[in-house]
Structure 1
Amino acid sequence: MRPKLNFFSEEEIERIHNMSLDILESMGMKIPSEEALGILEEAGADIDGEIAKFTPELIENAVETAPKRDELTLYARDEEYDINLSEDAPVLAGMTQATNVIDVDTREKRPATNEDVGLMLRVLDQLDNVSIASTLATPQDVPEERMDQYTWATAIKNTKKHITAPSFNDQCVKDAVKMGSIAVGGEDKFQERPFFSTWVLTSPPLELDAETASTLMEASRHNIPTLVSSGPILGVSAPVTIAGGVAQAHAENMACLVLSQAVNPGAPFIYTSFARIMDMKVTNISMASPEFAIMKGCMAELGHLLDLPTRMPSMLRDSKKVDAQAGFEVGMGLVGALESEIIGGLQLDMDIVIDFADLVFSNECMGQLKRIARGVEVNDNNLARELISEVGHGGDFLKTLHTAQNFKDELWDADLVERRMWEYWEDDGCLDMEERALARVKEMIEEDTGPLLDEELQKEIDAIAKD
């Protein structure tokens, strides 16, 4: 059975949910988009200027039509990498929109390039425990007004896995659909298996801007899964208390759910949240505080109250490098891993820096988290009662057939983690985790064969970004 870690009792989660319903009915959501407001009004929302107010019944109807946790498959360009959330969870996904990378050779921080984005995607394509090859960074060497289009083009050319990338507005979604259709041989084929998802971020408190609303509506029309996230900052754009902050974030997500389902009932909707804190001492945002981890668990509970698939960015780090701080910040991410279907990660320095070495490190960490989240299966084979009698007092289980047949399934197999005797580690150069991860990713980069699409298809996709 998959283990759980709950922060709320049933009574508490109902109380928070009811407060969120009250917020939406009495205060509503500001959405400065005539198109969105018109769709919501037709669906039954009360429109007052730029404010849309929602009855509990309207929200209940939207919950009813949205795909449930055990119904959603995230398609990949190659069917081998399809993700069935009811069977494969938790899975690791990269985040998006970092702006800097740690150079593989110089180890200096510098702006991310389009070449970096493509190379990172091809590395992610090779990592067993990274299921969603998100565009980790936004290239800083392309025209600013077309950054998202270049990001989509680079992603589609460089991975066979499911992709998540940002879309500034509806035009970006349309362009991404064109690119995806080229990659699979036509829009009909793409619509059968849309192999990417896109982000929708609210603007706390209680607002969804017009461009973002257009992204949500366009993605919903195409049945493209949308990762809808409210990311309030406690004490800044939400109450400083966790309970108040998650109640507000839950309300914002539910408002977006209504809009999505009003546009296209049954459109895939993934519930997520970047609820976070500001360190009051240094006035920076933290993406890896204990409260951040707690809120990922809390928001996953609220998403599951609606029976929606959830994605929580539980493996982000404030640490600047792959070090002890990065390690224990990943460990805190277990809170989200035990509740969410999808775990977001692979970024450092408050979500803005990518280290190629960290991709391999995080892949190793996710392997351990997946083993913990798998829990313990109790059956006759695993209880091994007859074997215990057979081996007897003071016996040895190492030589038994049962051990040979079961150890690979039961015990997680370490790759980068150092478990050898000191002398062997010393003979290999006394490398720490960062050094081992860097060596491994350099091997992968040296073996890289470049983009994964035919050259002519690449040119067609690039033309859309440049147009």
Structure 2
Amino acid sequence: MPTQGIKGGQFKVLSEEEIYQVHLATLQVLEEVGIKVEHRPALELMVDNGCKVDFKKQIVRIPEYVLKKSLQSAPSRITLYGKKHDFDVVLDDTNTVYTMGGAGATWVLDLDGKRRPATLRDLVDLTRLQDVLENMHIAHFLVLPQDIPQEGADRIVFATMLKHTQRPHHTIPGGPQGVKDHIKMASILAGDTDRLLQTPFYLENVCVESPLYHPKERVEELMEVAKYGIPMLIEEDAVAGATTPFTLAGTLVEQNANILCAIALAQMVNPGTPCIYSISSGIMDMRVGNYSAAAPESTLLHVATAQMAHFYHLPFQGGNTCDSKIPDAQMGYERASHFLALALGGCNIIHVATGNLEQMRLASYEQCLLDNEILGAIFRIVEGVTINKDTLGVEVLKEVGPQGNFLAHDQTLKYLRKTRWIPKLTDRRNWEAWEIDGAKDIRNRARDEVRRILREHNPQYVSEDMQREIDKVAKEAQKRVLEKVNSR
């Protein structure tokens, strides 16, 4: 069975008329309210391209014709390259579904059940672990190591990801200089910068803030990424009821205006820059004053946003972690309901798909494998039922006849591995067989498998000479950042 590029899109929460209503409301916000953009060169560029700018208040208003022209140059198809072509990911504005690993936890739930600060060793091990998961297609730094200086840490994290995964991977720049440092390291692996830009194997993530705000450093990052034409996620992490309107429809409008403004700016910098419309939004639980990643309303918001992105012919990334703190029953229903809706909703990249708990604060080794299992089942559901002359089985029924048995029939053997999902952790045996084998629950089985993978999977994707060169660039880059911070 295929494990990537499954066709979703069967689940729609907005009608075509409702999509158009959100679009019209977005145009009204862009033309009448505007977006605050804290970077004068960006404001000047937007004026030159037909936007109305209040330089004193740093507010940009975008006419419909300017937005339309800008979006026309944004590609609908984006390819991210793995170290082998088997791991290439082709994103477009259709409903093809991929996944991206978990993101940026500062805490780890280790294999002894202890919650502790994440380390650089955890980043290496979790990257190696996720590298073998067939249902994880784009790598992400699952943890932010807390045992290294935080200023300029993105350089160390980027170098680590380059060395330990064969998949395309995600990164976040630590300012515009971080974009340049990432390109310098990636060019070592690619051979040179031209080859890197022809076959990019990573994507940058630039976040805008709600409501309707583009901070200076994020705008600088966006313009630097666009200058080189590196693929980028343009992301908003709204909290409905706090940083955006309480209604999901109102949040849709705010997100749409904010993200489309950023995509338009990227196209003004460099027409054709690959941009992925992205959110990691959720709702505010008013009872406790906390963000909820896994609420059903958060899931609806992501499915609806996928429809909006595709309306503009843009690839879409969405997805949230779970609210549960440990791999328990709450985790199971949160992950399954969220992932299934996103896959059926045609989310091109399901974000935070492996390893995160506690609203992205926590990473779990066991959770990586549990998520991989859940995703495998979901991909099989989304794949659906194949109807053709052979699968309808009329000739098979003639051959076997009433009260016959199909176990040894050629058709059974033909389709067994093609159409049946074969789980790796799920136990389907009877009680007695399970008890004889140690009566382990799925979390214990996942823990055993993690230990086996980390013991056996030690690939070397980058030569030792390249590793030394990449590490040298990363350390020197972080040193410059630290010197700049200490000189203030």
> Where does residue 325 of structure 2 map in the other structure?
320
> Where does residue 406 of structure 2 map in the other structure?
397
| Alignment partners' CA distance in 2, 1:451 and 1:213 | 36
| Normalised TM-score (structure 2) | 0.91
> Where does residue 213 of structure 1 map in the other structure?
219
> Where does residue 67 of structure 2 map in the other structure?
59
> Where does residue 331 of structure 1 map in the other structure?
336
**Is the 1:168–1:212 contact (alpha carbons within 8 Å) kept by the matching residues of 2?**
no
| Alignment partners' CA distance in 2, 1:299 and 1:88 | 13
| Alignment partners' CA distance in 2, 1:218 and 1:423 | 61
Give the match's secondary structure for 2:205: strand
For the pair 1:428 / 2:437, whether they are aligned, the reply is yes
| Displacement of 1:88 | 9.8
Deviations 1:290-327 (A, max 9, x none): 1111111111111111121111114x111111111111
For the pair 1:342 / 2:355, whether they are aligned, the reply is no
Alignment-mate amino acid for residue 411 of structure 2: H
Partner of residue 171 from structure 1, selected from 169, 177, 180: 177
> Where does residue 383 of structure 2 map in the other structure?
374
| Displacement of 1:259 | 0.8
| Alignment partners' CA distance in 1, 2:286 and 2:103 | 26
For the pair 1:285 / 2:291, whether they are aligned, the reply is yes
Partner of residue 158 from structure 1, selected from 151, 161, 164: 164
Alignment-mate amino acid for residue 453 of structure 1: V
The change in CA–CA distance for 1:95 and 1:201 in structure 2 (over 3 A counts) is farther
RMSD: 1.7
For the pair 1:36 / 2:45, whether they are aligned, the reply is no
> Where does residue 243 of structure 1 map in the other structure?
249
**Is the 1:322–1:433 contact (alpha carbons within 8 Å) kept by the matching residues of 2?**
no
Deviations 1:135-173 (A, max 9, x none): 111111112211111111111111121010111321111
Identify the range of structure 1 (132-141 vs 443-452) with the bigger mean alpha-carbon deviation: 443-452
Alignment-mate amino acid for residue 60 of structure 1: K
| Alignment partners' CA distance in 1, 2:317 and 2:231 | 12
Deviations 1:190-214 (A, max 9, x none): 1221110111111100001111112
Deviations 1:179-238 (A, max 9, x none): 101122222221221110111111100001111112212222222111111221111111
Give the match's secondary structure for 1:350: helix
| Alignment partners' CA distance in 2, 1:7 and 1:209 | 32
Unaligned runs of 5+ in 1: none
State how 1:110-125 maps to structure 2 within 5 Å. 110-125=116-131
Alignment-mate amino acid for residue 352 of structure 1: R
The change in CA–CA distance for 1:85 and 1:386 in structure 2 (over 3 A counts) is farther
Identify the range of structure 1 (429-438 vs 2-11) with the bigger mean alpha-carbon deviation: 2-11
Alignment-mate amino acid for residue 364 of structure 2: D
| Alignment partners' CA distance in 1, 2:269 and 2:97 | 29
**Is the 2:97–2:349 contact (alpha carbons within 8 Å) kept by the matching residues of 1?**
yes
The change in CA–CA distance for 1:95 and 1:39 in structure 2 (over 3 A counts) is farther
| Displacement of 1:112 | 1.0
| Displacement of 1:328 | 0.5
Alignment-mate amino acid for residue 141 of structure 1: D
For the pair 1:99 / 2:99, whether they are aligned, the reply is no
| Alignment partners' CA distance in 2, 1:168 and 1:356 | 27
The change in CA–CA distance for 1:308 and 1:289 in structure 2 (over 3 A counts) is same
Alignment-mate amino acid for residue 223 of structure 1: G
| Displacement of 1:257 | 1.0
Give the match's secondary structure for 2:423: coil
Alignment-mate amino acid for residue 268 of structure 2: A
The change in CA–CA distance for 1:371 and 1:62 in structure 2 (over 3 A counts) is farther
| Displacement of 1:395 | 3.3
| Displacement of 1:372 | 1.7
| Alignment partners' CA distance in 1, 2:75 and 2:384 | 26
**Is the 2:100–2:136 contact (alpha carbons within 8 Å) kept by the matching residues of 1?**
yes
The change in CA–CA distance for 1:448 and 1:399 in structure 2 (over 3 A counts) is closer
**Is the 1:230–1:273 contact (alpha carbons within 8 Å) kept by the matching residues of 2?**
yes
**Is the 2:8–2:343 contact (alpha carbons within 8 Å) kept by the matching residues of 1?**
no
| Displacement of 1:340 | 0.5
| Alignment partners' CA distance in 1, 2:420 and 2:133 | 19
Unaligned runs of 5+ in 2: 1-6, 477-488
Alignment-mate amino acid for residue 241 of structure 1: T
Partner of residue 25 from structure 1, selected from 19, 31, 51: 31
| Displacement of 1:383 | 2.3
Identify the range of structure 1 (281-290 vs 378-387) with the bigger mean alpha-carbon deviation: 378-387
| Displacement of 1:84 | 2.2
| Alignment partners' CA distance in 1, 2:8 and 2:255 | 26
| Displacement of 1:411 | 1.3
Task: Tell me the number of residue pairs that the alignment of Structure 1 and Structure 2 aligns.
Answer: 463
| Alignment partners' CA distance in 1, 2:254 and 2:172 | 23
- Work out the percentage of aligned pairs sharing the same amino acid: 33
> Where does residue 275 of structure 2 map in the other structure?
269
| Alignment partners' CA distance in 1, 2:446 and 2:334 | 17
| Alignment partners' CA distance in 2, 1:80 and 1:124 | 16
The change in CA–CA distance for 1:395 and 1:135 in structure 2 (over 3 A counts) is same
| Normalised TM-score (structure 1) | 0.95
| Alignment partners' CA distance in 2, 1:202 and 1:33 | 13
The change in CA–CA distance for 1:113 and 1:88 in structure 2 (over 3 A counts) is farther
| Alignment partners' CA distance in 2, 1:180 and 1:332 | 37
